[in-house]
Structure 1
Amino acid sequence: MARIAFILLCHKNPERIVQQARQLTAVGDYISIHFDARAPQEDYRRIRAELADDPNVTFARRRVKGGWGEWSLVQATLNAIEAAVEAFPRASHFYMVSGDCMAIKSSGYAHDLLDSRDVDYIESEDFFESDWIKTGIKEERLIYRHWFNERSRKSLFYASMDLQRRLGLKRRIPSDLRIMIGSQWWCLRRRTIEAILRMRRERPDVMRFFRTTWIPDETFFQTLVRHLVPETEIVNRSLTFLMFSDYGMPVTFYNDHYDLLLSQDALFARKISPEASDLRQRLGVLYASDRRDFSVSNEGRRLYGFLAGRGRIGRRFAPRFWETETSLGRDKELLIVACKKWHVAKRLVGSIKHHTNIPALEYLFNEADTELPDLGGIQATLEKRTRHRRALMRMLFDYYETDRLIICLDTASIDLMQDFYADRSVTRMLEVQCSFSDDYLAGHAKRIGLAGAEAPPETIDRLLPTIRYDILYESECIRDASFPNSGQISDRRSPAENAEPIRSFLTVPEETARSVAETPDLFAD
């Protein structure tokens, strides 16, 4: 009978990892855990201590610091595989999972499926001929060497690639390899895993090549399996059910998706919301059961496409939109700087970024040319950003790998403020109140198109009272909304007076708040 060794890559939530490991090993399967070296050491010690008495659990001997898109993720996987191969000689299959994955079938059903065919399950499409890559660079992932992370060191990533392009440093792909691409969530037989480990030792040229490719976890195993295993022994699909939104973000599953998940032609699903405690409990019980009467309709992707295109009316899974990424999540904290004078807010967040490690974005919903990362097109226009604002913010939290994020909003954006405050995330706001001279208001009228560059003084004079009233009215609307966790700073207050609202807004020490409040020329025009 099949015995599965799960290869778990994780970096947070030690309690959930322990629970996941116990659920998977309770039926006789195994698990090898790689806990990211960036994570707190005390979390790692806690996991090891709580699982120390389980002989079906092992750990990668060497932990590495994982970075999205880097070779480090493949290295972490290989480290966990080597530990599993050595610790579990009876394991027949090796199944890649993450901390967000959970079984959507029973262990008996999973073992029967793996016993029924002597094959490897891995999605692997031709890298150059398929349309698997929807956005971003394609052949550049392979033909140039990548030493910098595109997310954390974006300028160096593209500068390095551009320099190689201009110098003609295009490299050759190993001649005997057909590069493949696909999902990193695979299930491979023991002899396939052992063949990969042998090739790793015998082909240093292949290892050197993949170490400097971009996003190798989508190409390394996919390519080597096709190279080592006859095509008749490969099923070109993943046994893990996952879906992506139009913007390339994984769709998250919640409590009301239990029946939908069980009807999919897969053994596991990714990703299960950390807030879906009921779903997690039911799926944990399911894997330990002996149930085999699953009715597989495989409707998930079609249903998602239908509902995401038309919106939810609350008739199937409860009154919530199927665009599950619309909620930022309870663990996220959105910090809003509201200010009519954009240059003042930009100066303030610049100082905040200097004194803290909180990522900050300027007027992304008000200013078309705000610098934003490439998120698959959702960031391309103000209309798209505003229409998909919560999805955009969720993607930005993921991009910066943070639970706290600062954005600037114009004081006229009361609807956006109300929408973000209605989310389950923690939202804080700091209103920056400024004085407005007639000269500034005249310039403002020209900047927003209320007056032409050559408008006569008489026209400007008639506009000024209306503009001034509108600005005061916007500030009054913010105060009338009585947003919780909100405060104000003002150019009519001293830095010492402004420091306390800044401290409360950022939840930083008083010394840091004073340094931000004392930013030179903060309110200068």
Structure 2
Amino acid sequence: MARIAYILLCHKDPDAIIAQAERLTAVGDYIAIHFDASASAADFKRIRGALKNSPNVAFAKKRIKCGWGEWSLVQASLHAVQAAVEAFPRATHFYMLSGDCMAIKTAEYAHRFLDENDKDFIESHDFFASDWIKTGMKEDRLIYRHYFNERTQSKLFYAAYEAQKRLGLTREIPEDLQIMIGSQWWCLRRRTIEAILEFLRQRRDVVRFFSTTWIPDETFFQTLVRHLIPRSEIENRTLTFLMFSDYGMPVTFYNDHYDMLLSQDYLFARKISPEAHQLKQKLGELYASEGVAFQISNEGRNLHGFLTGRGRVGRRFAPRFWEAANTIGPDRDLYLVVCKKWHVAKRLIDQIASETNLPCIEYLFNEADAPLPDLGGIETTLVKRSRHRRAVMRLLFDHFDTDKLVICLDPASLDIVQDFCSDRARTHVLEVQCTYSDDYLVGHAHRVGLAGQNSPAATVERLLPTIRSDLAYESEQLRSAGLDRFHRLRETGDPAENVAAISKFLGVPKDTAQAILRLDYLFAD
């Protein structure tokens, strides 16, 4: 059976470290601790005193001062790994943790998972070919030598960097290595760890190279595992669940994240808030539990984005100046069919097209594969269409050689609705207001990734009021936006009122509006 040696890098909160070590070792696992040498000596003494009698706890023989982006983080990891290898000969796996991590599965589940998956779990992408690095320095992390800490010695860091660039002092990457990059939170088998340590004893040149690269904790183990282990034995993922906000900051988990965390396909989560006492207590009790069944749905990232994004739609960025300056054209009529149920809107515009011969386009700003004519390339991606939406509309009017055009929009796209309504063109808006059964909302949650097929029914049910409220909020925002030429078609509305709404929206006779609405399954799900 798998037995895990946890590699813990930490620098604060001795009580939490002691509790974490006691939890993880209570079920027979091990832990090797490196406590930052720049942290409180009294805190370290307290940790050692509390854990000194535990045979399943080891400490790195050498403590060093660690800094973000430095080789010191890798060196500290190696010190703790070496201590674990020597102290725990029965350990089968080595799992990197921080003091902010907590288990979101039982030890029983973790051991069984590792027994059934004889692989190394480490995120590793090609350094140069992947887009793992979104902004900032890339190749220069490797080809120049970085001796100073970018955060605490910024002037020296960039002075040394710029001097090397001016003098052309680049260096070669070890020719037999394919540099990889990924998250520093890994779980490696014993034979992999032993292979790495033996490799480092033989290849001091590799140690010298990485010791002066920038942020080597994202490249060192990732590169060596790929160099030493067959690709078929590597799972390119971390077993620690972590997310980042829109601003690149780690997402912190709180008390109300418990159910969501347990349903993710990971063994640990990072970061748990120090103030989330209830969550920490429940997760702490969970690890030693037996017979717990987990329903993996893996909707965490989509669900978090949905919940944190409520109320911000269309309000984060101001319109670009070139969008505000462009115009669709003062003599054109743009008809916006705004509906959350896309299949309903598509049926409606099919009817409009057949009864009026108006050109109609489906959700071109919401659906990546919306059918569009060739517009010279601007139509090829959703990003391009959204960035240049007025230009896209002008091209569509020109393509169809018309002054009247109908398109569909999702109610979440209020910023697009307002943008078009502020144009000199005459923009008409029809909100198609539908009813939403619980079954539909459950299906919607699955379609947009807020829930997985295996999400517990109770968890999904608790989510439904939030989704229903969000849909009502979008409708309310649309109605309260003060739009001219605004009309509403309601599933529960009086047929005569709906006919009148279509007639006014399109400016067509009532008999044409009646023909458009004669589809008896218009609102069917």
Aligned to 2:58: 58
Q: Which residue of 2 aligns with 1:246?
A: 246
Any idea what the Cα deviations from partners look like across 1:201-237, whole Å, max 9, x if unmatched?
A: 1001100000000000000000000000000000000
Return the letter of the residue paired with 1:237: R
Identity %: 72
Taking structure 1 as the reference length, the TM-score comes to 0.59
Aligned letter for 1:39?
Answer: A
Give the Cα separation in 2 of the matches to 1:99 and 1:35.
10
| Cα distance in 1, alignment partners of residues 128 and 309 from structure 2 | 30
Partner of 2:384: none
Partner of residue 141, structure 1: 141
Distance 1:260 1:34, change over 3 A: same
Offset of 1:312 from its aligned partner? Answer: 8.8
Q: CA deviation at 1:303?
A: 1.2
Change (3 A) 1:281 1:161: same
* Change in 2 beyond 3 A, CA 1:312/1:229: same
| Distance in 2 between residues matched to 1:238 and 1:131, nearest whole Å | 17
Shift of 1:155: 1.2
Per-residue CA deviation, residues 291-350 of structure 1 (Å, 9 max, x unaligned), is 34101110011112223333499xxxxxxxxxxxxxxxxxxxxxxxxxxxxxxxxxxxxx
Which residue type is aligned with residue 178 of structure 2?
R
Aligned to 1:293: 293
- Please tell me whether residue 106 in structure 1 is matched to residue 106 in structure 2: yes
Can you give the 5+ residue segments of structure 1 that lack an aligned partner in the other structure?
314-525
Residue 111 of structure 1 aligns to a residue whose secondary structure is: helix
Paired residues, number = 313
Q: Aligned partner of 1:304: which letter?
A: H
Q: 2:54 corresponds to which letter in structure 1?
A: D
- With over 3 angstroms needed to count, the CA separation of the structure-2 counterparts of 1:311 and 1:114, relative to structure 1, is farther
1:195 aligns with 2:179: no
Deviation string 1:34-57 (CA, Å, 9 cap, x unpaired) is 000001111101000000111100
CA distance in 2, matches of 1:159, 1:52: 45
Aligned to 1:166: 166
- C-alpha separation between the residues in 1 aligned to 2:245 and 2:68? 19
Shift of 1:113: 0.4
Query: Which whole-Å deviations, capped at 9, do the CAs of 1:48-69 have from their partners, x for residues lacking one?
Result: 0000111100000000000000
Amino acid at match of 2:288: A
What is the aligned partner in structure 1 of residue 225 from structure 2? Answer: 225
AA aligned to 1:132 is W
> Following the alignment from structure 2 to structure 1, what is the Cα–Cα distance between the partners of residues 164 and 190?
39
Q: Give distance in 2, aligned partners of 1:196 and 1:36.
A: 23
- In 1, Cα distance between the equivalents of 2:173 and 2:308? 40
Aligned to 1:68: 68
Amino acid at match of 2:175: S
Amino acid at match of 2:158: Y
Structure 1 range deviating more: 53-62 or 153-162: 153-162
Aligned counterparts of 1:307 and 1:135: Cα–Cα separation in 2: 26
- Letter of the 1:284 counterpart: G
Question: SS of the counterpart of 1:166?
Answer: helix
Letter in 1 for 2:240: T
Amino acid at match of 1:219: T
CA deviations on 1:418-443 (whole Å, 9 max, x unpaired) are: xxxxxxxxxxxxxxxxxxxxxxxxxx
- Rg larger for: 2
Give me the whole-angstrom Cα distance separating, in 2, the residues matched to 1:308 and 1:254: 13
Residue of structure 2 in register with 1:208 after alignment? 208
Q: Distance in 2 between matches of 1:152 and 1:194?
A: 34
How far apart in 2 are the matches of 1:154 and 1:217?
19
2-structure distance, mates of 1:5, 1:312: 43
For residue 255 of structure 1, report the CA deviation from its aligned partner.
0.4
Q: Which residue does the alignment assign to 2:16? A: 16
The whole-number CA distance in structure 2 between the counterparts of 1:274 and 1:154 is 30
What secondary structure is seen at the aligned counterpart in 1 of 2:188?
A: strand
CA distance in 1, matches of 2:311, 2:186: 32
Equivalent position of 1:258 in the other structure: 258
The answer as to 2:78 corresponding to 1:78 is yes
Q: Which residue of 1 aligns with 2:370?
A: none
Q: Secondary structure at the match of 2:135?
A: coil
Residue-by-residue CA offset, 1:6-46 (whole Å, 9 max, x unaligned):
00000000011000000000000000000000011111010
* Distance (whole Å) between structure 2 residues aligned to residue 277 and residue 308 of structure 1: 22
Give the CA deviation at 1:3. 0.2
Residue deviations 1:399-425 (CA, integer Å, cap 9, x gap): xxxxxxxxxxxxxxxxxxxxxxxxxxx
User: Using a 3 Å threshold, how does the CA distance of structure 1 residues 312 and 279 change in structure 2: closer, same or farther?
Assistant: farther
> Using the alignment, how far apart are the partners of 2:80 and 2:287 within structure 1?
23
CA RMSD between the two structures: 1.1
In structure 2, the residue corresponding to 1:97 is in which secondary structure?
strand
Off by >4 Å, runs of 4+ in structure 1: none
